[in-house]
Amino acid sequence: MAYVIEDRVKETSTSTGTGNFTLAGAVSGFRAFSAICANNDTCDVCIDGGAEWEICEATWQTGGTLVRGAVIASSTGSAVNFSAGTKDVFLTFPAYDLKRFRPFAGSSAAGSAPLQFLAGALMTAAEAGAVEFDGKAFYLSPVARAVVAAMHLMSNSADFGGGNVNTAQPFFEAANDTITLEAATTYRIEGHIEMTRAAGTTSHTIDVLFGGTATVTDMSWQCLCRDGAASLTTPVRPYMNHFHAAAGGTVSVAATTVNSTVFAIKGMIRVNAGGTLIPQFKYSAAPGGAPTIKKSSFMTFTPVGSNTVGSIGPVA
């Protein structure tokens, strides 16, 4: 069942009363409802009998039956008791729908989004109730303009095994390890990543870094790290490092036989040329055992504006 709205769909009917209408075929130059409706599809129709008329919600059924539903407007103010004679029955888009704004359901087909904004410049002065899109982010103005959090998520859907190596490797499983960032855009980033390792006593540090092809012009972020037993119920050491660079930073974790490490990452990244970004980690020396990055470890990327955005809202 779908809500249908199409152009040039009109049939005649000689049905009477307040009940269902039997459609009698398309008017010359128009299409029949059967050409665009499947059984139990819904639509808005106008039944035009001259002085008697009704705009209502309706359900089309196979065989050409139109089940009349809620009345939107009519010549009587309620369901019309139609008298004998031929009526035109056609698809319409009522003014009432424009007032209540009911988008149709989308589908997987390209170009079928129920609502799509074209990018444009933001208004010089925000207006209360406005929704805007500049090609980078959506903005909503309850009173002052605010950015709408349209979050991109990358996460592990199951425990993910890393390598006992001292080269850069991703935090996330292959299907979810890379995000494509838009050009000239600023993102707010946040992440919570848990790694466990059941073996290995080689002393090492851990680099948290970002690979990929995007040109990152500036990145201000912090990484809070804690490590301890595998369950992390009794963490041994917390570390917090602050970075202002594009590449990454080093979080020092001393040797331990059974090791679990949690990274809490938060910050902002400004992108010049668009491209991919891959959150990664790198041991300074192979620790002696392969890590497992836990299920539901995640990072989010939320676009907040252009790569030169300085403020949004009532900031002075």
Among residues 241, 116, 246, the alpha carbon closest in space to that of 181 is found at 246
d(CA 133, CA 118): 7
* Strand order across the 146-147 sheet: 130-133, 138-141, 146-147
d(CA 304, CA 136): 7
Instruction: Report which residue type is found at 53.
Output: W
The answer as to whether 5 is a domain residue is: no
Instruction: Give the chain's domain count.
Output: 2
The pLDDT value given to residue 246: 63
pTM: 0.67
The pLDDT value given to residue 241: 66
Alpha-carbon separation of residue 307 from 134, 172, 236, 261, 310 (angstroms)? 12, 26, 39, 32, 9
The answer on 160 and 79 residing in a single domain is no
pLDDT exceeds 60 at position 94: yes
Domain's final residue, options 82, 100, 118: 100
How do residues 148-170 score in pLDDT, each as one tens digit? 988 999 999 999 999 999 999 99
The answer on 296 and 218 residing in a single domain is yes
The answer as to whether 139 is a domain residue is: no
The answer on 293 and 223 residing in a single domain is yes
263, 244 Cβ separation under 8 angstroms = no
At 177, the pLDDT band (50, 70, 90 cuts) reads very high
The answer on 88 and 208 residing in a single domain is no
The answer on 277 and 204 residing in a single domain is yes
DSSP string, 124-154: SS--TTEEEE-SS-EEEESSS-EE----EEE
The answer on 300 and 161 residing in a single domain is yes
Average pLDDT over residues 239-244: 65
288, 199 Cβ separation under 8 angstroms = yes
The answer on 195 and 85 residing in a single domain is no
The answer as to whether 141 is a domain residue is: no
pLDDT exceeds 50 at position 193: yes
How do residues 46-80 score in pLDDT, each as one tens digit? 999 999 999 999 999 999 999 999 999 999 999 99
pLDDT cut 90: percent of the chain above it: 65
The pLDDT value given to residue 205: 83
The pLDDT value given to residue 297: 97
23, 32 Cβ separation under 8 angstroms = yes
Phi, psi of 126 (to 5 degrees): -65, 145
Domain's final residue, options 33, 66, 100: 100
The answer on 245 and 158 residing in a single domain is yes
The answer on 283 and 173 residing in a single domain is yes
The answer as to whether 281 is a domain residue is: yes
The answer as to whether 115 is a domain residue is: no
195, 260 Cβ separation under 8 angstroms = yes
The answer on 168 and 59 residing in a single domain is no
Domain's final residue, options 58, 84, 100: 100
The pLDDT value given to residue 35: 97
24, 14 Cβ separation under 8 angstroms = yes
The answer on 158 and 36 residing in a single domain is no
At 251, the pLDDT band (50, 70, 90 cuts) reads low
β strands within 160-308, DSSP E: 160-161, 169-170, 179-181, 185-197, 204-211, 216-228, 235-244, 248-253, 259-271, 275-283, 292-293, 298-306
The answer as to whether 164 is a domain residue is: yes
Bridge partner residues of 243 (DSSP): 221
Which domain range does residue 15 map to?
A: 10-100
The answer on 31 and 176 residing in a single domain is no
The answer as to whether 229 is a domain residue is: yes
d(CA 250, CA 21): 74
pLDDT exceeds 60 at position 258: no
How do residues 97-143 score in pLDDT, each as one tens digit? 777 676 777 778 888 888 888 899 999 998 999 999 999 899 999 98
The pLDDT value given to residue 236: 47
The answer as to whether 157 is a domain residue is: yes
DSSP string, 42-104: EEEEEEEETTEEEEEEEEEETTTEEEEEEEEEESSSS---B-SS-EEEEE---HHHHHH--PP
At 235, the pLDDT band (50, 70, 90 cuts) reads very low
The pLDDT value given to residue 240: 61
